[in-house]
Amino acid sequence: MTEQMSSKSAAAIDRAKAQGRAALIGYLPAGYPDIQSSIDAGIAMARNGADLIEIGIPYSDPVMDGSVIQAATTEAIANGFHVASVFDVVAGITAATDAAVLVMTYWNPVMRMGVDEFSRRLAEAGGAGLITPDLIPDEAAEWFAASDKYGLDRVFLVAPSSTPERLAMTVEASRGFVYAVSIMGVTGARQSVSSAAEKVVADTHAAGAERVCVGLGVSTADHVREIAAYADGVIVGTALVAAIRDGGVDAVAQLTKNLSAGLGRATAQA
Amino acid sequence: MVDASTANSDENVADAFLQGGTSLRNAAGPYFGSYGGRWMPESLIAALDEVEDTFEKAKADPEFLAQLKDLNKNYSGRPSLLTEAKRFSEHAGGARIFLKREDLNHTGSHKINNVLGQALLAKRMGKTRVIAETGAGQHGVASATAAALLGLECVVYMGAEDCRRQALNVARMQLLGATVVPVTNGSQTLKDAINDALRDWVSNVDNTHYLLGTAAGAHPFPAMVRFFHEVIGEEARAQILEQTGKLPDAVCACIGGGSNAIGIFHSFLDDASVKIYGFEAGGEGVETGRHAAAITLGRPGVLHGARSYLMQDEDGQTIESHSISAGLDYPSVGPEHSYLADIGRVTYEPITDTEAMEAFRLLCRTEGIIPAIESSHALAGAIKVGKQLTEGKENPADTIIIVNLSGRGDKDVETAAEWFDMLDENGNVKGTTLSTRKPKGTSERSNLEISTEEANGGRN
């Protein structure tokens, strides 16, 4: 893993590790239902036990997302979301909390703005880096240059289907942490966590990754507990999106608190 | 996003080509200039590698090639004819127009070429299930056909809007044993069907091959789909030489994703004397914003795994495309076409709905052939090209143009009847009680509900 420069994500995960636990990473899309709610919900997640916040950019063709996130991001776009607003959300959350704030985005919106320009503005907003579900290191030359220039984390994904060669290459390309996809599928709550997840994490660690976080299908404190036993961080998305949809920021705060209980400690700031 | 160095190298390629030094054929991917690649989730990379590896081995395996050739000949009915359209030609400045009759293939379009190839690959990979997207239904029907022939389970994703426009093809796929899933996300057309097919693939990749229907998407699909369609151009080239003794002056095809076009273009790419034209769907006119002219008005971006020209807004959100032809209603285009556009080897122009429908009617009445509305875009383009190339010429009949007639228009009869105002308010053919469908207001709903139920029934 590229570690010659400081990483906000790595620092946040390491703070959790120093407390003897895995990190909790909460995802919500920007602009759902509106920009201010996204900021408030991000702050609520950070104050109720989330160590890292992942803010998604609503996109017209989200092929890795299941129906709950699709519905939310479609609504955000219909409500007039513009990509540049994501920087306001990031800045709003980083101004109020210590959480590392990453942006999760499909690649075309970044390309459209210009990879360098996007990166500069993300860094200015205090963002930690990008999680890129449809960008593999093989295509990421521009992103390597920009992320180095602005000191941003590059969070690439690994999957149960990744070969040892691709695991090694992806670990080498990543900075901050590696995002292990728990299951072959798209985002969405599932009854149980795939047994494939533990193996992916072990293989990714073995390939040299210091920090591996698991996402996809994680929705309950029990899931969090199970994954926290072997991973450096646990990523929850769909369940939080459903919470803000059904109960607003308060529901996000409550769910985050419940989830963080799975990390094996009471939340400090709640 | 094309930087100066890329632009220069593209110009160099074009120069080298014009001097006869560079072949534009058989570009292997993953890149075509700065286009193509694999802008895909890591979860699918292993599957793409498996497809690529299987394809490369099959391509070099005489047994596979013999199997494919046998199916093309004895199942699809290849070679397809090259028919001179003499009466139609009179409307194109007198240039001699020849139609490459992909409409005569089994299932009624060029799509069968690709699905037979990919379905054979699916069997080689040990997959038991194929999934496909479809716009007009031609690729869905072809996929369902190949799946039935080879004993594979088949699920076809089709935009709900397209299910309505092409209800007959929905029934056709169901008759062939496929499950049709109406897609209600986004614009409910081809791009959204591809999104859902990709979501299915990532979830079921162990037993499933994604039988992508056009020369777009992530590597190896653009190069692989082209390979299976190259037979169109190979036949056309030999047939035109046999019938006229010379190469054509121009080759025309319609472009949605661009598979029929790249298939016929391929054999002529290195013939500098042959002008090549791709006709995009100009919809209601490119100035209205309601069109599908990705190359004409798009800018490079990534969608469905490839970097290519893309209709997108200032935020990089995909703009919904519009065309009277469901098969061309796609906001991007295969990456090899983007490259061929940039280096100037192929000229891409938009054809409006109106122009396409006029050409549709003209071919019906001058040649007794009902073309697909997709292919009618190529016909309309050929009329323009014919007039251009024959202008001021003493013997316009010296000018020879091949049009890829990529599909037949049976599926488009209802759309055409509406367009030409042949129906009364009950949907009956005027002056008769002959209905092309149930009365307005009931049919659209009930058709969809039936197909949704059956799709779910097939799934459960």
Domains and CATH numbers, chain A: 8-261 (3.20.20.70)
Check CB contact under 8 Å for B42 and A186: no
Domains: count for chain B = 2
Both B270 and B178 in a single domain?
A: no
Q: Note whether B149 and B89 are same-domain residues.
A: no
B339 pLDDT band (50/70/90 cuts)? very high
pLDDT at B450 over 60: no
CA distance B137 to A175: 45
| B368, part of any domain | yes
B91 and B122 both lie in a single domain: no
Query: Are B200 and B244 part of one and the same domain?
Result: no
Residue count of chain A: 270
Q: Annotated catalytic residue: which of A51, A54, A198, A226?
A: A54
Q: For A37-65, what is each residue's pLDDT tens digit?
A: 999 999 999 999 999 999 999 999 999 99
Whether pLDDT at A238 is above 90: yes
Tell me, yes or no, whether B209 lies in a domain.
yes
The token pair that represents A97 in the structure block: 């909390």
Residue A164 has a pLDDT of: 97
Residue B289's φ and ψ, nearest 5 degrees, are: 80, -15
User: Which chain B positions have a beta carbon within 8 Å of A184's beta carbon?
Assistant: 43, 202-206
CB B78 within 8 A of CB B102: no
Helix B138-150 crosses helix B111-124 at what angle (to 10 degrees)? 40
Residue B20: per-residue pLDDT: 66
Percentages of chain B per state (helix, strand, coil), in multiples of 5: 50, 20, 30
Residue B253 tokens read as: 């095809």
Which of B350-359, B362-371, B435-444 bottoms out in mean pLDDT, i.e. has the lowest? B435-444
Average pLDDT over residues B385-410: 97
Residue B213 belongs to a domain: yes
- CATH number at B67 reads 3.40.50.1100
Q: Are residues B243 and B341 in the same domain?
A: yes
User: B273 and B297 in one domain?
Assistant: yes
Mean pLDDT of chain B: 91
Whether residue B46 and residue A161 make contact (CB cut-off 8 A), yes or no, is yes
Does B266 map to a domain?
Answer: yes
Q: Which residues pair with B444 in a beta bridge?
A: none
First to last CA, chain A: 34
Spatial distance between the Cα atoms of B272 and B208, rounded to a whole number of angstroms: 42
**Chain B contact for A120 (CB, 8 A cutoff):** no
Does A193 or B337 have the greater pLDDT score? Answer: B337
Nearest-angstrom CA–CA distance, B226 and B221: 8
Residues of A in contact with B204 (CB under 8 A): 184
Q: Are B207 and B127 in contact (CB under 8 A)?
A: yes
Core vs surface per residue B234-246: b (16+ CB within 10 A) or e = ebbbebbeeeeee
Cα B348 → chain centroid: 15
Check CB contact of A138 with chain B, cutoff 8 Å. Answer: yes
For residue range B266-310, list pLDDT tens digits in order.
999 999 999 999 999 999 999 999 999 999 999 999 999 999 999
Give how far A69 is from chain B: nearest CA, Å.
Answer: 12
Bridging pattern class, strands A157-158 and A178-181: parallel
Is B141 a domain residue?
yes
In a shared domain, residues B246 and B352: yes
Beta-carbon contacts of residue A141 (< 8 Å; ≥ 6 apart): none
Which structural domain, as residue segments, surrounds residue B97? 79-108+229-414
The answer to whether A54 is a known catalytic residue is yes
Residues of B in contact with A63 (CB under 8 A): 41, 195, 198-199, 202, 304
Last residue of a domain, one of B221, B247, B272: B221
Kindly state whether residues B362 and B409 are assigned to the same domain.
Answer: yes
Contact status of A63 with chain B (Cβ, < 8 Å): yes
Minimal Cβ distance to B186: which of A60, A133, A163? A60
If you average pLDDT over residues A189-194, what whole number do you get? 80
Tell me the mean pLDDT in the region A246-258: 98
**Of the candidates B37, B185, B303, which has its C-beta nearest A108's C-beta?**
B303
pLDDT tens-digit map of A222-234: 999 999 999 999 9
In a domain, B24, yes or no: no
Final residue of a structural domain among B221, B248, B276: B221
Stretch A162-186: mean pLDDT, rounded? 96
Please tell me whether residues B66 and B84 are part of one structural domain: no
Domain final residue pick, B168, B202, B221: B221
Distances (CA, A) of B103 to A2, B23, B115, B368, B408: 55, 30, 16, 13, 5
Instruction: Report the C-alpha gap between B34 and B233 in whole angstroms.
Output: 25
Is residue B410 assigned to a domain?
A: yes
Cβ(A213)–Cβ(A178) under 8 Å? yes
B84, B42: one domain:
no
Is B440 a member of any domain? Answer: no
**Residue A61 appears among annotated catalytic residues:** no
DSSP letter string over A228-254? Answer: HTT-SEEEE-HHHHHHHHHHHHHHHHH
Q: Pick from B38, B40, B42, B191 the residue to mutate for testing the A interface (most A CBs within 10 Å).
A: B42
B-chain residues within 8 Å CB-CB of A83? Answer: 315-316
Residues B186 and B237 in one domain: no
pTM of the model: 0.93
B207 and B311, same structural domain?
A: no
